[in-house]
C-alpha cells in the first residue's frame, strides 16, 4: 500500500536566525509577555541552538544575524523583513522598543547584495506575511489588525509583484499572522479560523479548501508558529495534537522545545526568516 507520505517532498530552504544571547522580557507588547516571569538566558540559548541545529540537520542553510545589546526581541528574526523572489521588503515596527531592529536587518540584506525595498508603512515582516509560491500562481497572505497596517499590504504588492490577500486578525493573543497561520508546503496552509474575522475565514476557505484546520489547543501551544520544508514540519513540542493532524496527512513533525522563547510571545517561526531567492 502506498502511503500519503510519498506525496510530500522536502525542498531545501535558506533561513536567517539571530542568537538570543540578549533575550529578556523587559516590556510587554503582546498578551504573552510577562515582565515578572524570569527568563533563563542559558536555557534560551540552548533551545535556540537546538532549533538551528535541527534545521541544518534537515539539510537547510542558516545565515546568522548579529544580535545587538538593548534589542532583546532580535531573536525573533522573522519580523525584520519579508523576502520573495530575491526582493526584500523591509520592516517598520509598530512599537518603538523594536524599531531599531529594522536597521540591523536592512544592513544584513544590503551587505549580502539583496535588492532591498524600504517601507513607508508599518509592517512586521514575516510576522504578518506568508508566501505560498504554488498557490494560485504565487500568493502572499498578509495579516492586519494588531501590528502591520493595512496600507502595507498594498505597498508589499507593489514592492514584490505578487498578489497580496489581506486577512483581518481579531484576537489579540494572535497578534501576528504567523501565530495563526503557516504554509506547510508550497501550495497549502494550516490555520486557526478563530483568529480571523468571519470574512477572512471565508476567503481562506475558498483559497485553501484542503487546508489543515487547527483547534484551540494547537494555537494556544504556539503550534502554528512553525516552519515546514514541504515534508518536515518543525514545531513546538507542546503542540502534540497538531503534530498528529499533520502526520495523518503525510507530513513529518519535528518537535522542538522552545519554552523560554514562548515567554516573549514567539516560537519556531518567529525565530526564522526565510530567504527566498
Distance CA 101, CA 111 (A): 16
Q: Is 60 labeled as catalytic in the residue annotation? A: no
Do 165 and 142 contact (CB within 8 A), yes or no? yes
DSSP per-residue string spanning 44-91: HHHHHHHHHHHHHHTT-EEEEEPP-TT-TTTT-GGGGEEEETTEEEE-
Distances in Å between the alpha carbon of 206 and those of 4, 54, 120, 126?
24, 34, 31, 23
Do 42 and 263 contact (CB within 8 A), yes or no? no
Do 78 and 270 contact (CB within 8 A), yes or no? yes
Q: Show the beta-strand stretches assigned E in the chain.
A: 14-18, 61-65, 81-84, 87-90, 115-117, 129-132, 139-144, 164-168, 181-183, 189-191, 212-213, 227-228, 232-236, 252-256, 273-274
Do 55 and 16 contact (CB within 8 A), yes or no? no
Q: Is 176 labeled as catalytic in the residue annotation? A: yes
- Catalytically annotated residue among 18, 144, 270, 271: 270
Distance CA 63, CA 86 (A): 15
User: DSSP label at 16?
Assistant: E
- Catalytically annotated residue among 60, 105, 153, 176: 176
Distance CA 146, CA 94 (A): 9
Distance CA 166, CA 142 (A): 5
Active site residues: 176, 270
Amino acid at each position: 500500500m502506498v502511503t500519503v507520505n510519498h506525496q510530500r517532498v522536502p525542498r531545501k530552504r535558506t533561513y536567517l536566525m539571530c542568537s538570543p544571547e540578549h533575550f529578556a522580557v523587559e516590556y510587554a507588547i503582546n498578551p504573552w509577555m510577562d515582565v515578572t516571569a524570569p527568563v533563563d538566558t542559558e536555557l534560551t540559548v540552548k533551545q535556540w541552538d537546538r532549533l538551528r541545529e535541527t534545521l541544518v540537520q534537515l539539510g537547510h542553510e542558516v545565515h546568522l544575524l548579529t544580535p545587538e545589546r538593548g534589542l532583546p526581541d532580535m531573536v525573533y528574526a522573522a519580523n525584520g523583513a519579508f523576502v520573495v523572489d530575491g526582493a526584500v521588503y523591509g520592516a517598520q515596527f509598530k512599537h518603538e522598543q523594536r524599531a531599531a531592529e529594522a536597521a540591523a536587518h536592512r544592513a544584513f540584506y544590503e551587505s549580502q547584495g539583496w535588492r532591498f525595498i524600504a517601507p513607508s508603512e508599518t509592517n512586521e515582516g514575516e510576522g504578518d506575511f506568508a508566501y505560498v509560491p504554488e498557490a494560485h500562481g504565487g500568493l502572499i497572505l498578509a495579516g492586519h489588525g494588531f501590528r502591520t497596517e493595512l496600507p502595507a499590504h498594498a505597498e508589499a504588492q507593489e514592492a514584490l509583484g505578487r498578489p497580496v490577500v489581506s486577512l483581518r486578525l481579531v484576537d489579540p493573543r494572535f497578534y501576528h499572522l504567523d501565530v495563526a497561520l503557516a504554509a506547510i508546503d508550497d501550495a497549502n496552509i494550516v490555520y486557526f479560523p478563530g483568529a480571523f474575522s468571519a470574512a477572512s475565514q471565508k476567503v481562506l476557505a475558498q483559497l485553501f479548501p484542503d487546508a489543515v484546520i487547527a483547534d484551540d489547543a494547537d494555537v494556544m501551544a504556539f503550534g502554528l508558529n512553525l516552519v515546514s520544508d514541504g515534508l518536515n514540519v518543525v514545531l513546538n513540542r507542546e503542540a502534540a495534537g497538531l503534530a498528529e493532524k499533520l502526520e495523518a496527512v503525510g507530513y513529518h513533525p519535528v518537535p522542538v522545545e522552545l519554552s523560554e522563547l514562548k515567554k516573549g510571545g514567539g516560537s519556531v517561526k518567529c525565530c526564522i526568516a526565510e530567504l527566498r531567492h
